[in-house]
Structures are given as C-alpha cells and as structure tokens.
Amino acid sequence: MSLSSEIALRRTFAIVSHPDAGKTTLTEKFLWYGKVIREAGHVRAKANKSYTVSDWMKIEQQRGISVSSSVLNFPFEGCYFNLVDTPGHQDFCEDTYRALTAVDAALVLIDSVNGVEKQTVKLMDVCRMRHTPIITFINKMDLDGRDVLDLLDEIEKILQIQTCPFTLPIGYGKLFKGVYSIADNTFNTFSKEDGKQEILQMSGADDPKLVELCGEEYIKEFKNRYDVATQAMDPFDREKYLTGKQCPVFFGSAVNNFGVRQLLNAFANIAPPPAPRESDTRVVEPTENAFSAFIFKIQANMDPRHRDRTAFLRICSGSFERGNKVLHCRTGREIRLAAPTSFLAQDKEVIDKAYAGDIVGINDPGIFNIGDTLTEGEKFKFSGIPDFAPEFFARVTLLNPLKSKQLGKGLAQLSEEGATQLFSALSSAFPVIGVVGELQFDVLKHRLENEYGAEVQLDKISVFCARWISGEQKRQEDFAKEYKGDCLQDKHGSLVCLFPNEYRLNLAVKNYSELGFSKVS
Ligand code: G4P
C-alpha cells in the first residue's frame, strides 16, 4: 500500500468527558470491536484485580478517578485507530491539553442524566481553541435521563457548537427501545433483558412497524424529535464538522454495548485522517516522505518491574521502520528508534513500521522533553505544545534521610514527565515542587514512595501567584537578594518568585519596573 493510502486510514482521536460519564466502559467496548480484547470486561476481571484496561496507576484505582492519560491502538473496519485517553479530573488538565495537541479529532462523551458537566466545558474550550472536530456520544440512555432536545440545546448553548443528531433515541430509561438512524432509516433495537440487538430497515420515520415495536406514545414523542432534527436543525455539513463548528450526535449505552458500533463507524467514515502540522519554519504535510514527529507525553515506570521511561510520539509525516535513525532536533543528536511500541491495554507490542497519525511509544533514556521534535534530518520544531504555569507549590521533606539519592532521582524523573515542576529554593535546601492541580501532590507523594522508595512530607506554600523574573542580571540579583525568602530557581536556572499576596506583587512590579514578571517560563 502507498504511503498516502496508509496515512488516509489513520484516525487519531481523544475522548474527553467528565469523570464517571463512562469513558473507561466505552474504551473497553472499542477495544472489543477492535478485537484487541476478547470480551469487554475481560481485562477488568483478570486475576481479580480491579483495574480496567486504560488504568495504569494504582492511585487511580484507590481514588476511583482517572489520573493518567494512556494511549491505545486498535484496528476497526480497515482503519487504524489511535486513541488517546485523557484524565477526566480537573487537576490533570495540563496532561489533557497536551494529549489534545496530539490528536486530529475528539469524542465528547456526555452522561444523559447529568448533561454537560463542568470538566467537559473546560476541555471543550481547548478543542474549540484548536478547532478540533468533535463527535458527541450521549451515554447511559438506559437510565431515566434528560429530555433529548434539552440535551442538544444544552450542548449548543454551553459547549457553543451546533449539533446534528445522526441517531435519535426512542423511549428512555427502563423503556428505552433503541435508536433510529436518520441517514439510513434503520431502527436499532435495544433490549436490556437479553442484550439482543437488531437492525431493522424502515421505510421512514412514519413506518407503522415502529409503532408496533415501540408503542404509540413513544413514537409520538420520537416523531416530534425527528421533525425538529430534520426540519429545524441544519443538516450535516462535513466542512463545518472539520472546522469544529458542528458536531454529529449519537445516543447509546456503553455498558450495554449499544450504539457503540455506529459511533466507531462514524469515526471511520467522517473523522479526518492526519492533518498538516505547523512548525517554526513551515507547515509539514502528513504525506511527505520524510519522517517527523513530536513528543507530547513522557511517562516513567509504566511497568514498575522494568523501571522504564516511555516517550509518546505523535508521527506527523512520513513513516519509520524499527531501527531507523532520526534527528533529535533540540540537541542535534542522532537517535536510533530501536524498539517502538504500540499499546494494547496493559500490553505493549514492538512494532516494525508506523505512519503519520500513529502514536507510538519509544524508550526514553532520559534525553527527551515534552515538545521535542524528531525528524529524518531537517531541523525544525513543531509548534503549539503548551507550557503550563504551576498554581500550587509545596516544600518537599524527605522522611528517611538515607533515601536522598532516590528522592533526587524520583523528583527529577517525575518532573520530566511534565505534570510537576521542580524548583530549588534560594533560602533553603528543601526542594520545592509546583503543580497545576492539587491532586498532583498526592500522586507525586504516592509515586515517590512506591516507585522510588522515598517517603516524603509535602508542606504546601501559600502563594498568591508565581512570576518568572527576567531582565538585566544585576537587577535580578538585587531582586533575588531582597525577595530571597520567596525566590526559587527552576530547572533552567531561571529566577521565579512566589508572591504571597497581591500587595507584594504590585510593590515588586513597581520597584523593579525594568524587570519582566511573566506568568510562564
Ligand atoms: P469514566 O471512565 O468516565 O470515569 O466512567 P466509567 O466508564 O468508569 O463509568 C462510570 C460508571 O458508569 C460505571 O459504574 C459504569 O458501569 C457506568 N456506566 C457506563 N456506561 C453506562 C451506561 O450506558 N449505562 C449505565 N446505566 N451505566 C453506565 P460504577 O458503578 O461506577 O462502576 P462499575 O462497578 O459498574 O464498574
């Protein structure tokens, strides 16, 4: 197959949703359709462990939240899907933002009972900023959820995107009868009792068979929705979808594996193949022969038995074969991609070849940073991978002084993953860490203890805001002297000041007006 045909089959997307909307359940069903797992729920039950396929970290299970975004690759209907799972919890938003830079489309999952929830609104803001094409799946139709037209209205108003229902539910809750597909006039029946699903061809929404199957009352309600969807709402417009202005909407129930196949079909048919990417020198087309990629995520100790570190690459152009040498643009070093891996649930598999659009893992011997570009020789840097300023800070105290080497290693490695930032204080020997969401503190503490054997105490520092100080060296030194107690150095040696209140900030800005006070490094 030619390079461009291979690339045209790639679909790379992320699922974004509020915690508990059913993302893990839906992901499992996807893997089942991709024949990656034999039985949905199978992995969950394995060896009596309560993990699900996309849960990697123990803390995630303990607290019942999704804290690390993982990557899964699976085939479906001739297409090759790369799914980037994202943490739903707000304290991990920077991980999610970065994941969204690596995908070409997103699936927004909404709980039919709760409607549009807070975290979805935030994540949608990022999608909108990036003009990411969105498909929406309204889940849990087997529960007594909200009125369908109300839900569509809420999506339009709160998420600010035009909706275009591809299917419409008939009945809901205990009396949920199935979904009607508007484009091909089929009725997909639902039965919770025996799990049986049938796809029945109808002549149209007026087909009397629908009344026989579902009862007059439900069809009346359905017809009303159907008329609104087909007469009062704009028809599907692929251009609008591709620019993030309109989203196809599907209804179903992940746990009952209902409506999931239609959703995957829609991804195969209408979601975009890999898009061109901007770099600091030019736009890179996916079908260019020369390989290029960027790193959007680094994760240490995915397999605690092997103390590994994995860098996740989004391939942006061309292809590569195992063993190829590539240029690490930031350092100018040549690197051999010895064992690129794809991810199947808990398992990794070494792959021989990957194409633009694919997301693969490579072993990181400690040389990669998030945002690094790899190419076949040309020097450039992909743009648009955001940096995040930490909002919460804590002083790290090691509880067992004999473990200081382990602590140093753990702090350095975990900060390279990008979720925490490491600082040294000017006035004390205790390291300081900064995070975007407070829950990251718990994760860091847990991981330092479990992965590095270093038990620590974290003392939060009360901070109004952090500012990176720039400007003439001598003035910076004066500033550092005056504000020594509040000053830190980041990993590049840049000066950072943690202002305890607005007054101190304003005063510093006034007294050192020739210095820059920036929110990010
Ligand atoms: P998340 O990853 O988005 O956080 O959600 P997850 O899949 O873990 O699902 C959250 C809960 O919602 C789970 O129940 C799950 O079984 C349930 N769920 C998912 N899809 C549907 C659906 O279509 N209908 C109904 N009724 N429930 C659904 P749980 O009780 O928290 O966990 P579990 O014991 O069932 O695993």
**Which atom of ligand 1 sits closest to the CA of residue 65?**
4
Per-residue pLDDT at 109: 95
Top-ranked range on mean pLDDT: pick from 32-36, 74-78, 190-194: 74-78
Residue 170 has φ and ψ, to the nearest 5°, of: -115, 125
Site to probe by mutation for ligand 1, drawn from 20, 86, 250, 256 as the one with most ligand atoms within 8 Å of Cβ, is: 20
**Which atom of ligand 1 sits closest to the CA of residue 64?**
4
% of the chain with per-residue pLDDT over 90:
57
Spacing, Cα 137 to ligand 1 middle (Å): 14
pLDDT tens readout for residues 268-319: 999 999 999 999 999 999 999 999 999 998 887 666 666 677 888 999 999 9
Which protein residue's CA is at the shortest distance from atom 17 of ligand 1? 22
Distance CA 185, CA 182 (A): 5
Which residues lie below 8 Å from residue 242, measured CB to CB, with a gap of 6+?
133, 272
Spacing, Cα 357 to ligand 1 middle (Å): 30
All domains of the chain in start order, with CATH: 3-69+85-270 (3.40.50.300), 277-375 (3.40.50.300), 392-518 (3.30.70.3280)
SS3 122: helix
Spacing, Cα 191 to ligand 1 middle (Å): 18
Closest CA to 407 of 388, 387, 429, 378: 429
Distance CA 469, CA 104 (A): 36
Which protein residue's CA is at the shortest distance from atom 29 of ligand 1? 20
Kindly state the tokens that stand for 130: 């990036």
Spacing, Cα 436 to ligand 1 middle (Å): 27
Kindly state the tokens that stand for 136: 């929406």
Distance CA 102, CA 84 (A): 8
Which protein residue's CA is at the shortest distance from atom 32 of ligand 1? 20
The least confident of 237-241, 257-261, 454-458 is: 257-261
* Element holding 208 (H helix, E strand): helix 208-214
Which protein residue's CA is at the shortest distance from atom 24 of ligand 1? 140
Which protein residue's CA is at the shortest distance from atom 16 of ligand 1? 255
Site to probe by mutation for ligand 1, drawn from 53, 67, 255 as the one with most ligand atoms within 8 Å of Cβ, is: 255
Spacing, Cα 111 to ligand 1 middle (Å): 10
pLDDT tens readout for residues 188-205: 998 877 778 889 999 999
Distance CA 306, CA 348 (A): 13
Per-residue pLDDT at 317: 97
* Mean pLDDT confidence for 431-446: 87
Phi-psi region of 269 (alpha: psi -120 to 50; beta: other; left: phi over 0): alpha
179 within 8 A of 259, measured Cβ to Cβ: yes
Pocket of ligand 1 (CB under 6 A): 17, 19-25, 66, 88, 139-140, 142-143, 253-256
Q: How many helices (H) and strands (E) does the chain have?
A: 15, 31
Spacing, Cα 148 to ligand 1 middle (Å): 20
Per-residue pLDDT at 45: 35
- Compute CA 257 distance to the chain's CA centroid, rounded to the nearest angstrom: 23
* Mean pLDDT confidence for 442-450: 88
Between 442 and 308, the more confident residue is 442
Per-residue pLDDT at 61: 53
Which protein residue's CA is at the shortest distance from atom 6 of ligand 1? 22
CA distances in angstroms from 302 to 58, 193, 280, 321, 396, listed in the order given: 11, 39, 32, 24, 24
Q: Confidence band (pLDDT; 50, 70, 90) for 339?
A: confident
Judged against a pLDDT cut of 90, whether residue 128 lies above it is answered with no
Per-residue pLDDT at 69: 46
Which protein residue's CA is at the shortest distance from atom 12 of ligand 1? 22
**Which atom of ligand 1 sits closest to the CA of residue 253?**
23
Kindly state the tokens that stand for 185: 């006039």
3-state secondary structure string across 394-408: EEEEECCHHHHHHHH
Distance CA 271, CA 26 (A): 18
Task: For residue 31, count CB atoms less than 10 angstroms from its CB and return exposed for 0-12, middle for 13-18, buried for 19 or more.
Answer: buried
pTM: 0.81
Q: What size, in residues, is the chain? A: 521
CA distances in angstroms from 423 to 95, 236, 266, 445, 500, listed in the order given: 20, 50, 46, 16, 17
* Mean pLDDT confidence for 409-415: 88
- Looking up tokens 């938003």, which residue turns up? 93
Judged against a pLDDT cut of 60, whether residue 43 lies above it is answered with no
Judged against a pLDDT cut of 60, whether residue 64 lies above it is answered with no
State the average pLDDT for the chain.
86
Task: Say which DSSP state 70 is in.
Answer: -
Distance CA 265, CA 164 (A): 16
**Which atom of ligand 1 sits closest to the CA of residue 54?**
2
Spacing, Cα 491 to ligand 1 middle (Å): 41
β-pairing, 325-328 vs 333-336, is: antiparallel
**Which atom of ligand 1 sits closest to the CA of residue 256?**
23
Task: Say which DSSP state 366 is in.
Answer: S
- The CB-side HSE value for 433 (13 A sphere, CA atoms) comes to 30
- Compute CA 359 distance to the chain's CA centroid, rounded to the nearest angstrom: 13
Spacing, Cα 399 to ligand 1 middle (Å): 39
Spacing, Cα 252 to ligand 1 middle (Å): 13
Per-residue pLDDT at 67: 44
The beta-strand segments (E) located in 115-157 are 134-139
SS3 98: helix
420 within 8 A of 434, measured Cβ to Cβ: yes
CA distances in angstroms from 459 to 122, 304, 428, listed in the order given: 29, 27, 14
Site to probe by mutation for ligand 1, drawn from 15, 17, 20, 25 as the one with most ligand atoms within 8 Å of Cβ, is: 25
Per-residue pLDDT at 170: 94
Closest CA to 418 of 390, 391, 439, 446: 390
Spacing, Cα 165 to ligand 1 middle (Å): 23
DSSP string for 383-449: ---------EEEEEEESSGGGHHHHHHHHHHHHHTTSEEEEEESS-SSEEEEESSTHHHHHHHHHHH
pLDDT tens readout for residues 458-496: 999 999 999 999 999 999 999 999 999 999 999 889 999
Distance CA 446, CA 455 (A): 8
Which protein residue's CA is at the shortest distance from atom 26 of ligand 1? 140
CA distances in angstroms from 489 to 111, 353, 427, listed in the order given: 44, 42, 11
The least confident of 50-64, 142-156, 218-232, 426-440 is: 50-64
CA distances in angstroms from 389 to 121, 421, 519, listed in the order given: 21, 9, 7
Q: Confidence band (pLDDT; 50, 70, 90) for 260?
A: very high
